[in-house]
Structure 1
Amino acid sequence: MINENLNIYLQALNSANSGIIITDNLQPDNPIIYCNSAFEKISGYNKDEIIGHNCRFLQAQDRSQAERQLIKESIRDGKECRVEIRNYRKNGQLFWNELFISPVKNDDGMITHFIGVQNDVTDRKKIEYDLREEKSSVEEKIQQRTKELMGKEAFLASIIQTVRESLLVLDSNYVVLSANNHFLSSFKVTQEETVGKVLFELGNHQWDIDTLKDLLTKILPTNNPVTDYEVEHHFQHIGKKVMLLNAYRIEFEGQYKDRILIAIEDITDKKELDRRKDDFLSIASHELKTPLTTIKSLIQLLQRMDPAKNPDQFTTSLDKVSIYIEKLNKLISKLLDTSKIHSGNIELHLEPFEIDKTIKEAIENLSVVNPEYEISFSGCTNASVLGDEMQILQVFNNLISNAIKYAPGSKNIEVYINTVGNFVKISVKDFGMGISHQDKIKIFERFFRASNIQKKYPGLGIGLYVSHEIIVNHKGTLWVESEVGEGSTFNFTLPVIKN
């Protein structure tokens, strides 16, 4: 009877039009343990990508919203709250979320869970904006707009909206007359925040640059365009980007009009890709050349040595050759793993294994190799997973190695394992330098290396990429929670075998 009632409740939740999630307040960081179909539809993520995450992942890099602090305080104080907050779907699309949060208490009055009910109110927000605009309009403004629609400027506006590039049209005072949808989508802003504003006051004053102002002031009187002007800036809502700006005076039938057309292209990824290619070629050649040079020197030494006269030295040199050959072999293996994953040829040898036992034994082995580090282990799942145990060990060992490598001032590493829904979740926490928000976006990409750590911590930038792809191939997720200066927690989930 209890199971029948439970199934009825779950079916009811899954049939609701509102997105519903349940988080476990008794586990670290309040992870999501349930979400209904409506939540998947609203967010664009499927259930397997959501379970185990904290709800704040929906705000992506838009972290300055006051509502985030209100939610944090409500959860801390165990109170209900209602907010309207900017969220982002899996494809990066902005939507407004009306969120209701309520605590769930057990018989002892302890808060064990939180229930969140979410509604997409983007259309309502747009209607409210449209109503405000309509209310503030006067007959003169309507007549002016009608005249514009009948003129050639309306024709230009219709073209601008179809272009897959961020475009702005300014008047002679650099006030934005129109912004196309691509601009609004790229910069995560609204018409209300853009149209009617001076260019140099948009966002967090990203275009308020003296040299750019000087170039723009010369466009109308001289008709000289601004070409390929780069702006590197930490933009509001979208973070640090490199934008390429071009500006032109608009001309119709030989008659100059006091209008400026600005085209903005996001070249962040292109610049980053070029940097990564250069860095990888330089690093890979250095990493491969170092053991080869050492091996060559040792071989030359062995060739000049008489084994009978110097048996100890001969044996020591051979041992060193073996060590450096092993280093070289590991580097080549990493590159081969990357190549196999990128081409889709990675092989999985799937067998059931006890995840608790696997992680515990791995920690024991790592503790022997790194006796100066204290690797603590807590939690228990008693679960079995179907997977390639050696590849899962490769992921875990890589996370521990990174925790050691990037936390030189700390000797403590915490490993926690628990069950979230139909998944096991493994967390590796260090107390090192932490990771910036901008780097977290790309940390699992192939060959990515944060520029500020490359000199101090050399590497090829493929370990986390390989780890991420292994977990994805096991139908799990791998992500990181981190703040600069406060350490990092890498988490990954794996589906459990249902009994």
Structure 2
Amino acid sequence: MTSDAASEETSLAQLEARYLRSEAIMVAVLNSISAHIAVLDQTGTIIAVNEGWKHFASAQSGDSEAETYVGENYLTVLAQARGDDAAEAPLAHAGITRVLRGEIPSYSLEYPCFTPDEQLWFLMQVTPLQHPDGGVVVAHIDITTRKHEELRKDLFISLASHELKTPLTSLRLLAQLVLRRSAKAGYTDLVPQLETLGAQTETLARIVNELMDVSRLNSDQSALLRTIFDIKETVNEVINHWEAEAADHHFRVAEAPACQVHGDRDRIHQVLMQLLGNAATFSPPESSVEVGIVCNAEEVLVSVRDEGIGIDPSHHEQIFEPFYQVAEFREKRPGMGMGLYLARQIVQRHGGRIWVKSARDAGATFTFTLPLAG
């Protein structure tokens, strides 16, 4: 063997050793993550799982040799899922499919998991696999502790809001009665103060109602009453309301065909009320608020665009979180920051998505999706 050949062989051996070491490190990293992780190829077939995935499968079945589904199509597994754990399987299937197709950059879903001993909660996160052949990484993260804390918080909110509702109703009626009698008796100097009292009472009532709504949604006490309805008719109803409430704005619906969706009409009405109300509140008088409706093969996209003060991109994700408010907006719309959180919860329970595109001083466009009927 010549010295050149020996040197080349040594180099190849070193490269192979480095490759094997790098591969071993990647496997070790994957196995060090507590989340249950599966790697899917572009068809949805599971090509690799970590130790967390294997351990959970074993714990679920009580069999150390439990099926990990490596080599099987995860989308098929989800499509065939049955039982208590299968309620969110269609949503998981749709989310993974959309990420695989490149239609969305990522997907998240919270779901319950019923073991023989307890109910667990997981957050499924789907992200694209950074590989020329495509695919996705699916991670299931245990959020049981967080959900238990949320349930305790929701119980407190439910009890507190119910205790506040009865005296608040009495206060609202009393404020209205005193205002009418003061105006009739000619006590005009009291009218502005009483009107302020009435307005603040209405704000407090709205906050309490939002808290009760959040409690019902989070505790699954408010089941969706799904029907088939024309989304454009619902949009027109909401626009009619806001044309009377915010007459100094110009509301319109972009040209769109009738579009039948499958969902809870009242809840979608609630989402639209929130989005159009925000658009009117945070945009100047005489500006336009436009609602767009686009139907494609699988879903409808509803957008609400305004010409208002806009939202800095740094807030785009947080504004859908509970109790989050952009500090500079608080004076314009007092509250607890629950409106957009409720909107997101309602849309997600329909299997849809909601997001915002905006920049400071450039208006905002809120868009959400709903499944088509059929």
> TM-score with structure 1 length normalisation?
0.40
Q: Matches of 1:458 and 1:55 in 2, distance apart?
A: 39
Determine if contact 2:106/2:125 at 8 Å carries over to the other structure: no
1:58 is matched with 105
1:244 is matched with none
Q: Does 1:425 align with 2:301?
A: yes
The correspondence of residues 328-347 of structure 1 with structure 2, limited to 5 A, is 328-347=204-223
1:119 is matched with 134
The correspondence of residues 23-62 of structure 1 with structure 2, limited to 5 A, is 46-47=93-94, 58=105
2:330 to 425, 434, 454: 454
Q: Matches of 1:346 and 1:121 in 2, distance apart?
A: 34
Unaligned runs of 5+ in 2: 1-40, 45-74, 79-90, 108-123, 138-149, 151-156
Unaligned runs of 5+ in 1: 1-16, 21-36, 61-89, 99-117, 123-272, 274-279
Q: Name the SS of the counterpart of 2:236 in structure 1.
A: helix
Using a 3 Å threshold, how does the CA distance of structure 1 residues 382 and 340 change in structure 2: closer, same or farther? Answer: same
Q: Matches of 1:50 and 1:486 in 2, distance apart?
A: 33
Per-residue CA deviations over 1:50-70 (Å, capped at 9, x if unaligned) read 769x9685289xxxxxxxxxx
Q: Does 1:435 align with 2:304?
A: no
Determine if contact 1:399/1:428 at 8 Å carries over to the other structure: yes
Determine if contact 2:261/2:373 at 8 Å carries over to the other structure: yes
Q: Does 1:310 align with 2:185?
A: yes
Q: Number of aligned residue pairs: give it.
A: 249
Give 1:95 deviation, angstroms. 4.1
2:241 is matched with 365
Q: Matches of 1:451 and 1:46 in 2, distance apart?
A: 38
Q: Does 1:482 align with 2:358?
A: yes
Paired amino acid for 1:485: D
**Higher relative contact order, chain-length normalized (CA < 8 Å, sep 6+):** 2
Determine if contact 1:51/1:420 at 8 Å carries over to the other structure: no
Paired amino acid for 1:489: T
Determine if contact 2:292/2:303 at 8 Å carries over to the other structure: yes
**Larger deviation, residues 368-377 vs 452-461:** 452-461
RMSD: 4.9
Using a 3 Å threshold, how does the CA distance of structure 1 residues 376 and 335 change in structure 2: closer, same or farther? Answer: same
Determine if contact 2:175/2:198 at 8 Å carries over to the other structure: no
Q: Matches of 2:224 and 2:366 in 1, distance apart?
A: 23
Q: Which has a greater percent of strand?
A: 1
Give 1:358 deviation, angstroms. 1.5
Determine if contact 2:309/2:362 at 8 Å carries over to the other structure: yes
Determine if contact 1:353/1:389 at 8 Å carries over to the other structure: yes
Per-residue CA deviations over 1:243-287 (Å, capped at 9, x if unaligned) read xxxxxxxxxxxxxxxxxxxxxxxxxxxxxx9xxxxxx9xxx9xxx
Q: Matches of 1:355 and 1:444 in 2, distance apart?
A: 23
Using a 3 Å threshold, how does the CA distance of structure 1 residues 300 and 357 change in structure 2: closer, same or farther? Answer: closer
Determine if contact 1:409/1:432 at 8 Å carries over to the other structure: no
Using a 3 Å threshold, how does the CA distance of structure 1 residues 56 and 443 change in structure 2: closer, same or farther? Answer: farther
Paired amino acid for 1:367: E
Per-residue CA deviations over 1:198-250 (Å, capped at 9, x if unaligned) read xxxxxxxxxxxxxxxxxxxxxxxxxxxxxxxxxxxxxxxxxxxxxxxxxxxxx
**Larger deviation, residues 379-388 vs 331-340:** 379-388
Determine if contact 1:410/1:432 at 8 Å carries over to the other structure: no
Q: Does 1:408 align with 2:284?
A: yes
Q: Matches of 2:206 and 2:300 in 1, distance apart?
A: 29
Q: Name the SS of the counterpart of 1:91 in structure 2.
A: strand
Per-residue CA deviations over 1:393-412 (Å, capped at 9, x if unaligned) read 11001001111222237711
Q: Name the SS of the counterpart of 1:58 in structure 2.
A: coil
Give 1:471 deviation, angstroms. 1.2
The correspondence of residues 138-287 of structure 1 with structure 2, limited to 5 A, is none
Q: Matches of 2:332 and 2:237 in 1, distance apart?
A: 31
Q: Matches of 2:301 and 2:203 in 1, distance apart?
A: 31
Paired amino acid for 2:134: N
2:275 is matched with 399
Q: Does 1:388 align with 2:300?
A: no
Determine if contact 1:48/1:476 at 8 Å carries over to the other structure: no
Q: Matches of 2:182 and 2:289 in 1, distance apart?
A: 48
2:51 is matched with none
Q: Matches of 1:121 and 1:297 in 2, distance apart?
A: 59
Paired amino acid for 2:239: I
Give 1:415 deviation, angstroms. 0.8
Q: Which has a greater percent of helix?
A: 2
Determine if contact 1:51/1:421 at 8 Å carries over to the other structure: no
1:463 to 324, 339, 342: 339
Q: Name the SS of the counterpart of 1:431 in structure 2.
A: coil
Using a 3 Å threshold, how does the CA distance of structure 1 residues 296 and 47 change in structure 2: closer, same or farther? Answer: closer
Q: Does 1:91 align with 2:114?
A: no
2:25 is matched with none
Q: Matches of 2:233 and 2:248 in 1, distance apart?
A: 23
Q: Matches of 1:452 and 1:56 in 2, distance apart?
A: 34
Per-residue CA deviations over 1:162-218 (Å, capped at 9, x if unaligned) read xxxxxxxxxxxxxxxxxxxxxxxxxxxxxxxxxxxxxxxxxxxxxxxxxxxxxxxxx
Paired amino acid for 2:130: W
Using a 3 Å threshold, how does the CA distance of structure 1 residues 411 and 50 change in structure 2: closer, same or farther? Answer: farther
Q: Matches of 1:306 and 1:461 in 2, distance apart?
A: 34
Q: Matches of 1:439 and 1:306 in 2, distance apart?
A: 45
